[in-house]
Structure 1
Amino acid sequence: MELHESLSQRVGVLLSACHDVLATAESCTGGGIATAITAIAGSSAWFDRAFVTYSNEAKMEMLGVQPETLTKWGAVSEATAREMAEGAVQHSRASIAISVSGIAGPGGGSAEKPVGTVCFAWKAQSGWEKIETVHFSGDRTQIRSQAVYHALKTLHDYLEERLAE
Structure 2
Amino acid sequence: MDMIVDCVFEDERWQSFGLEPMAERAARAVLAALGLGEAGFAISLLACDDARIAGLNTEFRGKAKATNVLSWPSDERGAEEIGGLPDLPEPGDADDPEELGDIAIAYETCMAEAAGQGKPPQDHVMHLLIHGMLHLFGYDHIEDADAQLMEGLETRILAGMGISDPY
**TM-score, normalised via structure 2 length:** 0.35
**TM-score, normalised via structure 1 length:** 0.35
